[in-house]
Amino acid sequence: MANHPRQSYHRAEVLLLLAIIMAMAVTSADAADSPSSAIAPSAVRLDHADAGDQDDLCFWHDADEPARSLVITSDKKANLIAVYDMQGRLLQLANVPKPGNIDIRQDVDCDGTLRDLIVVNQRTDGWKLALFEVNRKDRKLVRLDNGELKTGPNYGVCWYHNAKQKSLYAVVTSEEGTLEQYQVTVNAKRQPSIGKVRSWELGKCEGAVADDGVGKLYISVEKQGVWELGAEPDQPTPGKLVIRLGEDGLKPDLEGITLLKQTEQTGYLLLSSQGQNQFFVYDRAGNHPFLGTFKIQGAEDTDGIDVLAKPLGDQFPQGAFGCHTAATKRCSVILTPWESIAKELKLPAK
C-alpha cells in the first residue's frame, strides 16, 4: 500500500517532535549535572610585553602597608617570573627555565631570621626547585639557590610550613603521578638545601596546596578529584579521596587548587575546573561540603589560581582572588576582589 502524502507529512512531524524532546532531555540532564555559576567582574589584569603564559601565581602581603602587597606570576612559556603591584604595574622580571607552579610562605624562621620565601618548580634543564626571597624593603625578588636543588620529574609544587617546629617542606607533583616531599632549610648565609623525606603514587597531578594550620595536604589529580593526607612526612600515604569528579557537577580537567583561610579553622578550598571554565568552592573543614561555583569575566581554560583574604589596598580591601586565563594571546592573570565573589555565593567574606 502506497504512503499517502499527508501520512508521510504527519510522520515527519512526529519524528521531528521526538528529536526535539530528546534534545531537550539531554540539555536538561547536562544542566542538572553542571551547577549554575555566579559571575564576578575582574578588577585588574596582569600582563606585560614579554608575557607568554602566566599560568600560576601567589600573593605577597605587606601587613604594615597592605597597598604595597604584590602578585608574583610564573610564566612557563616566556621562562619568566613576574612581579606586579596591586594596580597591575610590572616591577620586576626574573629568569627561570620553564617554571611550573609558584608558592610563598612568609615569616619562615631561617636560622634565626624571618624570611619570605618563594618556591618554583623548574621543568627543563634538569628537574629542580628555584628558591627566592622577597626583600621587604624594595619588594624585589632575590635568588637564593644556585641551581642545585634537584628533584625527580616535576609538574607542580607547593609549600608546607610547620611554624611551631620551624620546618619547611616542598611538595612536588608530576605528570607521571609520583609525588615527592622535600625538607628545605636555609642557613644564616641564605644558602638553601633540600632532602627528600617521602614519595608516593597518584594519578597525573599538578596542583597542590597545604593547610599549614591543620597539617593537611590537598592534591588535585586531574582525572580523579582531590586527595587529602597528613602533611608531616611520617603520615600515611596516599590519604583519601575527599572531592570526586562527577559529584556536584565537577568535571575534568582539574587544575589549580588553593586555600582561603579565615580563622585558624575556617575557610574554603577552591578548585579550577579547566574544562568547565568554573571555580568550585568547598568548606575547608570536616568532609568539605560543596558550597557553590563561580566564574570570572574573561577567564577561560584556567590553570593556576590563588586567593588571599587579607587587605591588599583600596581595590581589594578584603583580599583578592587571582586566576590564569587563556582567553588572550598572552595568557594573563586576572584579579578579582574576594568580597565580590563571596557576595555572589552568599558566603561570609571574613
CATH number at residue 99: 2.120.10.30
For residue 13, tell me if it sits in a domain: no
Please indicate whether residue 7 or residue 86 has the higher confidence score (pLDDT): 86
DSSP state of 114: E
What band does 328 get if pLDDT is binned at 50, 70 and 90?
A: confident
Q: Which three cell numbers stand for residue 217?
A: 595536604
Q: Which three cell numbers stand for residue 189?
A: 648565609
Asked if residue 29 has pLDDT above 60, the reply is: no
Contacts of 15 (CB under 8 A, 6+ apart): none
Q: How far apart are the first and last CA of the chain?
A: 77
Count of Cβ atoms closer than 10 Å to residue 19 Cβ: 10
Q: What is the pLDDT of residue 19?
A: 44
Q: What is the pLDDT of residue 13?
A: 53
Can you list the positions of beta strands (E) in 139-187? Answer: 141-143, 156-162, 167-173, 178-186
pLDDT tens digits along 85-128? 999 999 999 999 999 999 999 999 999 999 999 999 999 999 99
Average pLDDT over residues 227-238: 98
Q: Please, what's the b/e burial string for 163-194 (b: 16 or more CB within 10 A of its CB; e: otherwise)?
A: eeeebbbbbbbbeebbbbbbbbebeeeeebeb
For residue 58, tell me if it sits in a domain: yes
CA–CA dist 138, 187 (Å, integer): 22
Stated pTM of the model: 0.89
What band does 65 get if pLDDT is binned at 50, 70 and 90?
A: very high
For residue 24, tell me if it sits in a domain: no
Asked if residue 46 has pLDDT above 70, the reply is: yes
Please indicate whether residue 93 or residue 16 has the higher confidence score (pLDDT): 93
Asked if residue 238 has pLDDT above 70, the reply is: yes
CA–CA dist 293, 271 (Å, integer): 9
For residue 213, tell me if it sits in a domain: yes
pLDDT tens digits along 247-279? 999 998 999 999 999 988 899 999 999 999 999
Please indicate whether residue 9 or residue 253 has the higher confidence score (pLDDT): 253
Contacts of 290 (CB under 8 A, 6+ apart): 247, 248, 280, 281, 282
Q: Residue 311 CA to chain centroid, in angstroms?
A: 20
CA–CA dist 1, 129 (Å, integer): 80
Task: Decide if 40 contacts 344 (C-beta within 8 A).
Answer: yes
* C-alpha closest to that of 150 among 111, 192, 188, 109: 192
Indicate the number of domains in the chain. 1
* C-alpha closest to that of 122 among 105, 106, 145: 145
Task: Decide if 168 contacts 183 (C-beta within 8 A).
Answer: yes
What band does 35 get if pLDDT is binned at 50, 70 and 90?
A: low
Average pLDDT over residues 190-214: 97
For residue 253, tell me if it sits in a domain: yes
> Which residues, listed in sequence order, are joined to residue 122 by a DSSP beta bridge?
99, 128
CA–CA dist 171, 71 (Å, integer): 21
For residue 16, tell me if it sits in a domain: no
What band does 38 get if pLDDT is binned at 50, 70 and 90?
A: confident
CA–CA dist 332, 1 (Å, integer): 68
Q: Quick check: helix, strand or coil at residue 276?
A: helix
> What phi and psi, each to the nearest 5 degrees, are found at residue 267?
150, -160
CA–CA dist 209, 154 (Å, integer): 15
Domain enclosing residue 285, as ranges:
36-345
For residue 29, tell me if it sits in a domain: no
For residue 15, tell me if it sits in a domain: no
Q: What is the mean pLDDT of the chain?
A: 91
Task: Decide if 132 contacts 122 (C-beta within 8 A).
Answer: no
Q: ∠80-212-76 over CA atoms, to 5°?
A: 15
